[in-house]
Structure formats: C-alpha cells, structure tokens
Structure 1
Amino acid sequence: MPPVLETRDLTIRFGGHVAVDSVSCAFHAGTLTAIVGPNGAGKTTYFNLMSGQLTASAGITLLDGEDVSGLGAAGRAQRGIGRAFQITNLFPNLTVAENVRLAVQARGRAAASLFSLWSRHRDWIDKADHYLAEVNLDGVRDTVAAALPHGDKRKLEVAIMMALEPRVFMFDEPTAGMSVDEVPIILDLINRLKARGDKTILLVEHKMDVVRSLADRIVVLHNGQLVADGEPAAVIASPVVQEAYLGQAPKAEAAHV
C-alpha cells in the first residue's frame, strides 16, 4: 500500500543551522507514528514543514504521491492534512460551539458564507454538537473560547480538527498543560481515531508512557536527523535512542529496529 504522507530528503536551514536535515519518512493509513527526540531535535519543525507552516530549504513533501511542497498550510489542509498545535489556535472571541461550527461549515464547502445564519443549517449545528460531545465540551458550548481553561482549549482544538475530517491527523504534544484528569479524554479520542483504521496519525510527544500506549511505530529525531525508526519497544530500548536522550552523539545513519 502506498504511503498517504511522505517526505523525501526534507531539509530546512535557519542561517547556518540545519534544523531538519534530509529526513525521508513515509506514513501509512491505519497507523499511528510517534515522533520523539530530545528538546531541539527538530520534531515540531518537521511537523511545520509537513503541514505547510514552514517552507523547506530542500526536499519535498508528498500527499498521496503528489508533491504538495508548493502549497501552504491552507492548501494542505484542504487536501486533508489536519494539524493541532502545542499552542492552541482558536477564534478566541467566538463561542466554543461557533468555533466548531465554522470548521463544519468550511468542510461543507461553504466558505463564502461562513457567518451566515446558523439556524438555516441544522445539519451543521448537529455535526458541531456531535464533535463537542466527543471531547466532553457540550456543557460549555456557549462559553467564549478565550474564557476556557487551557485543557479545554486543547480539547476544543481537537474538536475543530475532527470537524474538518482530515485524512492525516497531526498532534503536537496534545496533552501538554492538561491536568491528570483531562489527559485520558484526549488519549481516548486519539485511540478511537486510530481504531477506525483509515486515518494516518502522527504524534509529537515527550511523555513516553503516552507514546507506549498509543504508537504503532516510533521515529526518533536527533539534531534534525532521523536516527531510529521502528516498533516502539525495540526503538525505546535501542542504544541509538538511549544515546539521543542522554545527549550523546548517535550514529549518523538511521537505525531500523
């Protein structure tokens, strides 16, 4: 089966610093890949390159075999790449329900009338309410997004991404800043997306217990390079990962374990 998302020699330089260095990796439908590595390894930058927030210095990103390197974030989102950020990305002055309804309506190809009267669009309202219930936010549907606690803002961002119905879900530290009680809700959501078997899910995460519970595969970045790629238990136990997390220099060639 061909990959849904793929990078070939993807590279970005900031002045003399190479933040992502010739990373080639393929991601398939029905799998959840965790991208891990020490601070400064290039994980979020790699995400930004794949989702179009940054423009690569070299290399390409392919979606369904088509080079989408010339598309920005909006163009890639329209093609089916969904992205949740470390820092929430919401309409702060709209209510919780309005944030999700806009995503539902955008998915319905009605971008020209995003602020039209909602009561005329019962199906959009019902869909939005469904996604709010999925993340346990139906009880605060009329609250302005800016007034939500951090954990609820993260859940709202996930609801928005789900409402856009992407084929690729990219989660950048989805549990960051959440309380112990809130974390299981997001992990359960991601598990349910994975169980559908038709989504390609990428996860940047520092918490190894989260990685172990969710990932089918782990990709390790260190100093912008891909240094390990394989089944979770083997990757976590491998010398190259131990060296990377201890801050020592790993082997230049990726270890497939």
Structure 2
Amino acid sequence: MPGPSLHTENLTIRFGGHTAVDNVTCAFRPGELTVIVGPNGAGKTTWFNLVSGQLRPSEGRIFKDGQDITGLAPSARAKAGIGRAFQLTNLFPRLSVLENVRLAVQARQGAGPSIMRRAAALHDVRAEAARHLESARLAAVADYPAAALPHGDQRKLEVAMLVAMQPDIYMFDEPTAGMSVDEAPAILDLIAEIKKDTSKTVLLVEHKMDVVRALADRIVVLHNGELVADGKPDEVMALDIVREIYLGVGADEEAA
C-alpha cells in the first residue's frame, strides 16, 4: 500500500475561545476518494482551509508526501500539487471560457505571456485547454465570457481549470452547491473521471447522501471540530453516533 499523500497531525485552530478544528489526525492515500461529512459548523470547510493554506493552524502540522508544508503559502501548496475548488466559483469573469483554462495550463507550466514564446508552444497550450473543455462538456461555449455562463457551467469550468493544473490532491468543497438536479450529474461525472486515476487523491466535502453513496471509498465524519468516525461508507453510516449527529436518527427513534 502506498504511503499517505496527505497527512494532518493534531491539526487544531481556535478563533478566540472557539475551537473550530480540534486535534484532527488523519491520513489520505492515492487512489482513494474520501467524503468529509458532518452537520453545519462541524469544521469541514475550516479543515479544508487549513490544508490548502487559507488559514494557519493554532497547533498541529500538515504533510504532503511526507514533507511538512504547514508553513507554506496557498500558492506554494498549489505548486506542490494541492488543488482546491471552492464553494463559490473562482473564475476570471471577463475572459472567455477557453482563456480561463488556458491560463490554468500556463500556470502549471510556469509560462506566462511572452513575445519570445514559440507559436507552436502557444498552440499546444491552447489545444490542451480545448481538450479540458471537451472533457468538461464546455466546448460549445469556449468563446463565451465566463461571467455569461449559468451557475452549473461555471462550476464545470472551475473543475476544468483545476484538472488543467494536474494536482496530485483534489479538494472539492460542496461541488454541487447551488446546482439544479439536472446540472449536478455533469460535475459528479467529472469527479468520477478524476477518481479513475489511481495516482490521485480526492477529498470531497459534501452533505448530499446520494453524492456520498455514489462516489465515496471512505467517509470521515467531523462534529464540533473533532474527527468522530472514519472508515468504509456502509460501516460509518451505520454507527449510532453518525446517524444521530449527521442524519438526525437516534437508536431509540430507529427502533420505534
């Protein structure tokens, strides 16, 4: 079994007297899609923010491939292979759909705009961006401004940009939030495609049980900032503590 691609050790953050993430130790491996669940205020997004660098921990450490990245800025973590998609889309609204993805490809290559770049290289970047749009089912709107897309297509565009960065670790924070029943399957199909690459680690914050059941290899449950359950989906969802805090079903209620 490969070693962990991501490991948090005693990860904790406090805001005043409130502990939002409390001593969370957890490891994640390539080829595994883990869904992180819990009620509102459980600390899921805060934990994500700690891992991707938007927040600095009060205590604890974060490791990627065995290297301590606790002190790295978000941009350095992205270069190290941690890719994050947020609850709210994070696009260049005035640029075209294709240009958004092209910039992601260039950022991965470390190649900014330059008059010295060969035309062939620019063509290759554009062609790769077009392939990502095809995979995301956005080829038909490649020339549209990103701001003109409906919400569901904007989410797909953000995923296409994330894939173009080719991270080792994908982090999705409620990827179907605000999407209609008709829009959500396209995003889930994209994530399922990423999951097929067993060199990648996928972390997903989600509260929709149909999404959890469809994608999860493993479930981690947070409650009041603490890790209270971790394991195979069927095993975790059958635990009394999980059914009570996440599903609102207690043992007495189920027996009745």
Return the TM-score normalized by structure 2.
Answer: 0.93
> What SS is found at the alignment partner of 2:161?
helix
1:147 and 1:115 mapped to 2: Cα distance?
A: 30
Gaps of 5+ in 1: 250-257
Aligned counterparts of 2:232 and 2:118: Cα–Cα separation in 1: 46
Q: State the distance in 2 between where 1:180 and 1:119 align.
A: 43
Structure 2 CA distance for partners of 1:212 and 1:248, relative to 1, 3 Å: closer
SS in 2 for 1:20: strand
Change (3 A) 1:242 1:248: closer
| Deviations, residues 77-121 of structure 1 (Å, cap 9, x unaligned) | 00000000000011111111100000001111214x379989651
5 Å matches for 1:150-161? 150-161=151-162
SS at match of 2:41: coil
Match of 1:181 in 2: 182
Aligned to 2:201: 200
Instruction: Give the equivalent residue in structure 2 for 1:82.
Output: 83
Quote the residue 1:52 is aligned against. Answer: 53
Q: Where do 1:207-222 residues align within 5 Å?
A: 207-222=208-223
Helix, strand or coil at the partner of 1:151: helix
Q: Decide whether aligned partners of structure 1 residues 182 and 247 sit closer, same or farther in structure 2, where only a CA change above 3 A counts.
A: closer
CA change 1:115–1:76 in 2 (3 A) is farther
The question of whether the paired residues in 2 share the 8 Å contact of 1:102 and 1:114 is answered with no
TM-superposed deviation, 1:246: 5.7
| Corresponding position of 2:231 | 230
Offset from partner CA, 1:131-159 (integer Å, 9 cap, x none): 00111111111111111111111000000
Give the equivalent residue in structure 1 for 2:171. Answer: 170
SS in 2 for 1:212: helix
Q: Could you tell me how far apart the structure 1 residues matched to 2:45 and 2:178 are?
A: 17
Whether the aligned pair in 2 keeps the contact of 1:85 and 1:171 (CA below 8 Å) is yes
CA shift in 2, pair 1:91/1:118, >3 Å: farther
- After the TM superposition, which of the residue ranges 76-85 and 185-194 deviates more from structure 2? 185-194
Structure 1 ranges of 4+ moved more than 4 A: 114-120, 246-249
Distance in 1, Cα, partners of 2:153 & 2:68: 36
Q: Deviations over 1:28-56 (max 9, x none)?
A: 00000000000000000000100111111
For residues 3 and 201 of structure 1, do their structure 2 counterparts lie closer, same or farther at Cα, with a shift above 3 Å needed? same
Query: Deviation at 1:70?
Result: 0.6
Is the 1:105–1:114 Cα contact (8 Å) retained in structure 2?
Answer: no
Q: What are the within-5 Å matches in structure 2 for residues 1-257 of structure 1?
A: 1-111=2-112, 113=113, 121-245=122-246
Distance 1:226 1:115, change over 3 A: farther
Q: Residue 11 of structure 2: SS of its match in structure 1?
A: strand
What is the alpha-carbon distance in structure 1 between the residues aligned to residue 153 and residue 115 of structure 2?
24
Amino acid at match of 2:200: K
Secondary structure of residue in 2 paired with 1:185: helix
Q: State the alpha-carbon separation in 2 of the partners of residues 202 and 3 from structure 1.
A: 13
Tell me, in whole angstroms, the C-alpha distance in 1 between the residues paired with 2:21 and 2:149: 35
Is residue 118–residue 125 contact of structure 1 (8 Å, CA) maintained in 2?
A: no
Change over 3 Å in CA distance of 1:118–1:136 after alignment to 2: farther
Contact 1:29 1:200 in 2 (8 A): yes
**Secondary structure of 1:26's match?**
strand
- CA shift in 2, pair 1:119/1:179, >3 Å: farther
Aligned residue for 2:253? none
Count of matched residue positions in the alignment of Structure 1 and Structure 2: 248
Instruction: Report the counterpart of residue 252 of structure 1 in structure 2.
Output: none
TM-score (norm: length of structure 1): 0.92
Q: Which amino acid aligns with 1:31?
A: E
Aligned equivalents of 2:47, 2:170: Cα separation in 1:
14
